[in-house]
Structure 1
Amino acid sequence: MKKRDFLKSTAALGLTALLPSSVWALSKNGRLRTAHIGVSNMGGNDLASISSHELVDVVALCDVDSKALAEAKKLHPNAAIYKDYRVMLKEMKSDIDAVIVSTPDHTHAPASMMAMEFGKPVYCQKPLTHHVVEARAMRKMAKEKNLVTQMGIQVHSFYDYKLATLLIQSGIIGKVSTVRAWSPKNWGFDGPEPEGSDPVPENLDWNLWLGTSAERPYKEGYYHPANWRKLLDYGCGTLGDMGVHIFDTPYNALKLDVPMTIKNQCRKPTGFGFPEKNTVTYTFPGTEYTADTLKWIWYDGKGAPEKHKDLRLPNNEKLPGQGAMFVGEKGRLLLPHFMELPRLIVDGKYQELDLSIIKDQEAIGEPVRDYDSEGNKHYHQFVDACLGKAECSAPFEYSARLTETILLGVIAGRFPNKTLHWDNATARFSEPEANKFLDAPYRDF
């Protein structure tokens, strides 16, 4: 698949939310036949959750690691197995109803776009893409082909996050002026690029793992299977990993679009790994739920977040390890990450949540504290949508804009302490030097 074919049009998209006008049962017998690209680690979790739906038949498995593929095959002995997703999609396009993409970030867009070109609904892990241009292209194709799509942000469908969204939109703290969000995780690498090479493990097809990314010698412990998130060519750092989850509820609740300005306070770029510690400040255009503009500050790395009056808790309590704080006209709403209820703070004291302010009482649902029962909801919503029984809550129309926001913060890390100005209409920075990081050439492999 050539890059020019993959991105036939990179023109900026309109911002009006438009979900698919209709969905339909894809399989003649009322079941959904799924193909899974990437079946280890998170891919294994995705496979388990999708296949737990009673109407799913797993018909194809694909992974560049033969050990991971063999383990998945044990669980689904009737599924065909492949190591190259391009071959799988071409050979089995008539036997597949939907595709699940659970690869490292740099392969999300190439695999998802090819599946959508064949008219297949796609469930793709977060962040949706590795580059901004890819996010816009995926959003555009999903809309043009009217496909069911879902990004893998499972907590989007959890009770706590839906409740926080309803409370904010019901005005519990008035218009929001600031959001502060944090994760002390470290998906960065401040060290040098490794020298030399190591033998490629027999179970790994290194060429297929690299995929469309630039050629690079294999080095044990740096890439497959666990550390690719730390590196510029393959992941999106802590912001792209935990940031997508923690950004999601405030972004959704406040009905935000992409930001106007972005600034990342971090160390100087090395050209290889993401900074181990970032403080990213965004400004967004106002919405009906915010002040005239919204300020958003993200903290990651050891010791995150920095101390700030917005983050002080009653009784000198410690902040949750990860989470977000909404700062509004009438108080603050703390949303821990995860499996904890949001907490209302007014005049420095916790207040009981008054759920009667929520207009749509049916939307509240019942509080659930069990991850096992909550965890599959997002996946099953996708399956049901493919079968014409539901609508996805994180389609590419929404998740591409959320991903774009995340990726703009990632790009800002290339220009420490410099404010970048983003033009949503043209999908370009005012600073020309930043525009070259919106995309990257695809390697033929």
Structure 2
Amino acid sequence: MKKREFLKKSSLGAFGVLLAPQLLGALETGYQRRLRTAHIGVGNMGGEDLKAIASHNMVDVVALCDVDSEYLKAAAESYPDARTFSDYRIMLTEMGDGIDAVIVSTPDHTHAPASLLAMELDKAVYCQKPLAHRVEEVRAMKKLAEAKNLTTQMGIQVHSFYDYKLATLLIQSGIIGKVHTVRAWSPKNWGFDGPAPEGSDAVPANLDWNLWLGTASRRPFKKNFYHPGNWRKLLDYGCGTLGDMGVHIFDTPYNALALDVPKTITNNCRPPNGFGHPERNEVTYEFPGTAYTGESLTWIWSDGPGAPDSHPDLKLPEEEPLHDQGAMFIGETGRLYLPHFEMLPRHIVDGSYVDIDVERFKLGQPVRDYESEGRKHYHEFVDACLGKDECSAPFSYSARLTETILLGVIAGRFPGKTLNWDAKSARFQEEEANAFLGSTYRKF
């Protein structure tokens, strides 16, 4: 068997970890290739992603893409050697083998179309959270990444932070015994309870509205409703607070408890309005048991103004106020409190805090510098592409997490009704809910 064939079949390089297929040739020659990155979406969070990826000393930014010419111009000033595009399809086609990895930092509804096209062209992909806008997209992304053996990472930076790693180790060490309940919350409001806007406004000269809509249905532009920031609130483009902060706050309990997708989902929220996500949600999930839980696990997520409601599970010692965002693990022998973010987990037994021996986990001292801590997740992806590391949130993991999140979003269309999910068939028992698992792509 030729060396190249062996490497492709085994996906193992000299470092014994997964290699991006496009870098196999470099390994054969013994040449340490740099990673050439293309960035889809370079404003706001996309700009942060760009800066963090480019901070790795083995990265060359070769292409920039954004539907907003002002964002594109600003990014190009920082990376003048990169080619610029407004349409990611043209960028991927024209750049071809000149790209090794693609970073997708767009509104949620464009995550899957852009990522799937990049992966079809054998590119490693770093995609912002949530991984996709629809469950069918999530499954397609996971399937393609695994079929092509590509390096992938979901952009959930806290996955690589000290406090969340520590919480995972504590739970898996049995510090509170088997966990039977998780409560997680955020008071953020990425919902919209009002009516859809009427009429239209002139599209700003800097925005290509057709490309911004992409595969989503055409609708008239309305100022302050879509670009640049409010799309998260709207059904056609974002996933609400659950799809934004929920991904961050779910991640550690989900990972620590080795959960799969849930069996049932119930969302108590206002009736659907056909345009925006509910401003306040309480989603209850029931998960199959794992090695770290009882026979099943109950998970209650609360978001929106005033969340969470008071509950004995959330009472802290000495009437200490609850942090505005976080998660609480409730187990057989106590609770583990994990505020969000950059705060150490706290062990609670019989209403009092108990000291935690963190030295045995050999994690070193807590890091409280967000910029350096935040880059770890990005650099992990770059190093994985170069055969020096493995991704900790590849699509094989992040697709399951995102599917869980999206099932709660779908349940928001059926307030108070328990939906039963069959993970094997990827269908609800309630046929009416299956209409929201995917969507028809518009040609644009």
Q: What is the alpha-carbon distance in structure 2 between the residues aligned to residue 30 and residue 62 of structure 1? A: 23
SS in structure 1 of the partner of residue 164 of structure 2: helix
Aligned equivalent of 2:280: 277
The Cα shift of 1:22 comes to: 2.8
1:394 lines up with 2:393 in the alignment:
yes
Q: What is the alpha-carbon distance in structure 2 between the residues aligned to residue 116 and residue 425 of structure 1? A: 24
1:371 lines up with 2:367 in the alignment:
no
Aligned equivalent of 2:12: none
CA contact (8 A) 1:333 1:342 kept: yes
Aligned equivalent of 1:5: none
Q: What is the alpha-carbon distance in structure 2 between the residues aligned to residue 291 and residue 434 of structure 1? A: 29
CA contact (8 A) 1:21 1:146 kept: no
Quickly say closer, same or farther: Cα 1:229–1:68, change in 2 above 3 A: same
- The 5-angstrom pairing of residues 273-422 of structure 1 reads 273-355=276-358, 361-362=361-362, 364-422=363-421
Aligned length: 422
- The 5-angstrom pairing of residues 214-293 of structure 1 reads 214-293=217-296
TM-score by length of 1: 0.94
CA contact (8 A) 2:61 2:79 kept: yes
Q: What is the alpha-carbon distance in structure 2 between the residues aligned to residue 217 and residue 443 of structure 1? A: 15
Gaps of 5+ in 2: 1-15
Q: What is the alpha-carbon distance in structure 1 between the residues aligned to residue 43 and residue 210 of structure 2? A: 18
The Cα shift of 1:366 comes to: 3.2
The Cα shift of 1:30 comes to: 2.1
Q: What is the alpha-carbon distance in structure 2 between the residues aligned to residue 279 and residue 118 of structure 1? A: 40
SS in structure 2 of the partner of residue 123 of structure 1: strand
The runs of 4+ residues in structure 1 deviating greater than 3 Å are: none
Aligned equivalent of 1:116: 119
The Cα shift of 1:367 comes to: 1.5
Q: What is the alpha-carbon distance in structure 1 between the residues aligned to residue 251 and residue 384 of structure 2? A: 21
SS in structure 1 of the partner of residue 98 of structure 2: coil
Aligned equivalent of 1:54: 57
1:262-306 superposed Cα distances (whole Å, 9 cap, x missing partner): 000000000000000000000000000001000000000000001
Q: What is the alpha-carbon distance in structure 1 between the residues aligned to residue 358 and residue 108 of structure 2? A: 38
The Cα shift of 1:21 comes to: 6.6
CA contact (8 A) 1:345 1:351 kept: yes
Q: What is the alpha-carbon distance in structure 2 between the residues aligned to residue 61 and residue 385 of structure 1? A: 22
CA contact (8 A) 2:17 2:387 kept: no
Find the partner of 1:45 among 48, 51, 54: 48
> CA RMSD of the aligned region, Å?
1.1
- The 5-angstrom pairing of residues 128-147 of structure 1 reads 128-147=131-150
The Cα shift of 1:372 comes to: 1.7
AA of the residue aligned to 1:350: Y
Aligned equivalent of 1:23: 19
Range moving further from structure 2, 368-377 or 240-249: 368-377
Aligned equivalent of 2:81: 78
CA contact (8 A) 2:243 2:406 kept: yes
Q: What is the alpha-carbon distance in structure 2 between the residues aligned to residue 277 and residue 301 of structure 1? A: 4
The Cα shift of 1:29 comes to: 4.5
Q: What is the alpha-carbon distance in structure 2 between the residues aligned to residue 173 and residue 251 of structure 1? A: 16
The Cα shift of 1:140 comes to: 0.3
Q: What is the alpha-carbon distance in structure 2 between the residues aligned to residue 348 and residue 423 of structure 1? A: 38
1:426 lines up with 2:422 in the alignment:
no
1:371-430 superposed Cα distances (whole Å, 9 cap, x missing partner): 121010000000000000000000000000000000000000000000000000100000
AA of the residue aligned to 2:18: S
AA of the residue aligned to 1:226: G
Q: What is the alpha-carbon distance in structure 1 between the residues aligned to residue 291 and residue 81 of structure 2? A: 51
- The 5-angstrom pairing of residues 8-19 of structure 1 reads none
Aligned equivalent of 1:149: 152
SS in structure 1 of the partner of residue 170 of structure 2: helix
TM-score by length of 2: 0.94
CA contact (8 A) 2:17 2:388 kept: no
The Cα shift of 1:23 comes to: 1.4
AA of the residue aligned to 2:388: K
1:97 lines up with 2:100 in the alignment:
yes
CA contact (8 A) 2:272 2:278 kept: yes
1:52-95 superposed Cα distances (whole Å, 9 cap, x missing partner): 00110000000000000000000000000000000000000110
The Cα shift of 1:370 comes to: 1.2
AA of the residue aligned to 1:38: G
AA of the residue aligned to 2:395: F
SS in structure 2 of the partner of residue 249 of structure 1: helix
Range moving further from structure 2, 168-177 or 20-29: 20-29
The Cα shift of 1:354 comes to: 2.1
Q: What is the alpha-carbon distance in structure 2 between the residues aligned to residue 140 and residue 319 of structure 1? A: 40
SS in structure 1 of the partner of residue 328 of structure 2: strand
The Cα shift of 1:355 comes to: 2.8
Structure with greater proportional helix content: 2
Q: What is the alpha-carbon distance in structure 2 between the residues aligned to residue 112 and residue 385 of structure 1? A: 18
AA of the residue aligned to 1:277: R
Gaps of 5+ in 1: 1-19
SS in structure 1 of the partner of residue 103 of structure 2: strand
Identity of aligned residues (%): 71
CA contact (8 A) 1:128 1:403 kept: yes
SS in structure 2 of the partner of residue 375 of structure 1: helix
Q: What is the alpha-carbon distance in structure 1 between the residues aligned to residue 253 and residue 278 of structure 2? A: 24
AA of the residue aligned to 1:376: R
SS in structure 2 of the partner of residue 303 of structure 1: coil
Q: What is the alpha-carbon distance in structure 1 between the residues aligned to residue 155 and residue 116 of structure 2? A: 16
